[in-house]
Amino acid sequence: MLRSVKNTKTQPNTNAGIPVNYELLAELERRAGALEPNSQQLDDLFTQVEEYSRQHIANVCETPAFVKSKDQSIGLLSSPITETGISLDAVLKLLYDHVDHEGINSGSPRYLGYIPSGGLVHSAFGDFLAAIGGRYAGIFHSAPGAVRMENMLVRWMADVVGYPKGTGGYLASGGSIANLSGIVTAREAHRLRSTDYDRSIVYLTKHTHHCVDKALRIAGMENCVRRRVGEDGHCRMSADALERRIGADKAAGLNPWLIVASAGTTNTGMVDPLEDIASIARANNLWLHVDGAYGAFFALCPEGRTVLSGIDKSDSLVLDPHKTLFLPFGTGALLVRDRNVLGSAHGSRGVYMLDIDSDAHEPSPAYLSPELSKHFRGLRMWLPLKLLGVAPFRAALSEKIHLARYAYERIQSFDGFQVGSRPDLSIVTYRYIPKRGDVNEFNQTLVRNLHADGRVFITSTRIHSKTVLRLVVGSFRTHLDDIDESLQILRDHVEELENS
């Protein structure tokens, strides 16, 4: 312990016969001292960070939903990492000027693009306390409380979607990683080896999230055959087309392996017919993985539960608490119906870890996931759920569905607008048909103009080679007034563009 190195003058230059360079150690201790702030420095950190945070929260609704600055944050680089630090004031100013007010303001109630992430403030305190406590959440022996907390959240999510008692799962960094891990679990469950890949079939649709293709590539399974199953007329997988395709593939001597169904596609928000797909999966012995990164938490509210019927019959499921549980970025989740299968796909031990499992009362995330040392993610999810209870989350999710239905009806009533399918959950697709000129071009320009305006943020996509606009109600801060205001801004821009 360096703490015992105090007065170098009176110390002999050996310790139990071992030579010690007291002067060097004292000098290093002094120079590293900044890593351990004294109480005054701590007070300053607390006070200034608190003030910054309060200001941010107070202004988040009024700050534009999107800002594209001229310098695109390049100014940050004019303050490089150097040998000596700068003041907290100066650091917070850099954060304010170059990070926190450029690009998408994901906390804005008028951020209606992609899939909004929440940024629930209670979660930030959870992150803070997790970092302060510094528990190592990977293994039960190291932090039984942190591991029990994560497993408790896994069981809670399992109950929300109706998964059985033996469910295993963990909190990941996001939906992409959770999908990757789910696909690897499906591979191990079916004992596929590389020689099987080019005759093993994955069934998905054109609307399946691209992270599934990415996951197959990362898992070394790019050779698997992907069947883009036909749709039902509302951008959902057609169960009939799926069944026919599987039959044909079996007859051709191939190995139908995995169905990836979407419980809310990012593209259109529509939910694949999960009950029917689950029956087909069971009858044909395929693994059913459901990507519910956007939609699965809607099972918390009655409107969503109806649409998601059958989700409980899947083999594995991804949820994204940093989307529809309104947490800040950094938390996804994987659930696997049979915990043992998850464990055999991910379990691994180092020789230096042999003495830690004798007293394990709970499965450890490190043995169920790709990570070893991991962020103590449970606290950012547990804290808001404990403090607020589940009721406000249910209400907010119901509200999102009703607001999306309202927006759908409103847009449909506007002159010149065409809407897509009635939303299953909280995404509305629509486009404006201009009086003259190219429809796709008009809608692309419209989105660009809206981004330049910044008060509302919506995004576009392509459906059946048409440019379509999306409106995603996903923030807990988005209410009726925000929808009305956003639709008014949309119409103003349409009018301006028509007249230009």
Ligand X SMILES: *Cc1c(COP(=O)(O)O)cnc(C)c1O
Binding site for ligand X (CB under 6 A): 115, 174-176, 179, 209, 211, 262, 265-266, 291, 293-294, 320, 332
Shortest distance (Å) from residue 266 CB to ligand X: 4
C-beta closer to ligand X: residue 143 or 258: 258
C-beta closer to ligand X: residue 449 or 459: 459
Cβ neighbours around 194 below 10 Å, total: 9
Shortest distance (Å) from residue 471 CB to ligand X: 15
Residue nearest to ligand X (CB): 175
Angle at 127 between CA 382 and CA 144, to 5 degrees: 55
| Closest residue by Cα to residue 101 from 74, 65, 132, 130 | 65
> What are the helix (H) ranges across 363-425?
378-388, 391-413
Sign of the torsion angle spanned by Cα atoms 203, 272, 290, 477: positive
Contact 249, 227 (CB under 8 A): yes
C-beta closer to ligand X: residue 262 or 364: 262
Contact 474, 426 (CB under 8 A): yes
C-beta closer to ligand X: residue 330 or 454: 330
| Closest residue by Cα to residue 151 from 143, 124, 345 | 143
Shortest distance (Å) from residue 301 CB to ligand X: 18
Shortest distance (Å) from residue 213 CB to ligand X: 11
- Alpha carbons within 13 A on the beta-carbon side of 266: 20
Strand, helix or coil for residue 481? helix
C-beta closer to ligand X: residue 123 or 364: 123
Q: Is 14 exposed, middle or buried (0-12, 13-18, 19+ CB in 10 A)?
A: exposed
Shortest distance (Å) from residue 295 CB to ligand X: 7
Cβ neighbours around 263 below 10 Å, total: 30
C-beta closer to ligand X: residue 139 or 404: 404
| Closest residue by Cα to residue 392 from 204, 151, 118 | 118
* Alpha carbon distance 411, 160 (integer Å): 33
Shortest distance (Å) from residue 300 CB to ligand X: 17
Shortest distance (Å) from residue 214 CB to ligand X: 9
Residue with the two structure tokens 């007329």 = 233
Shortest distance (Å) from residue 420 CB to ligand X: 17
C-beta closer to ligand X: residue 291 or 482: 291
Residue with the two structure tokens 């981004």 = 451
Strand, helix or coil for residue 319? strand
C-beta closer to ligand X: residue 139 or 212: 212
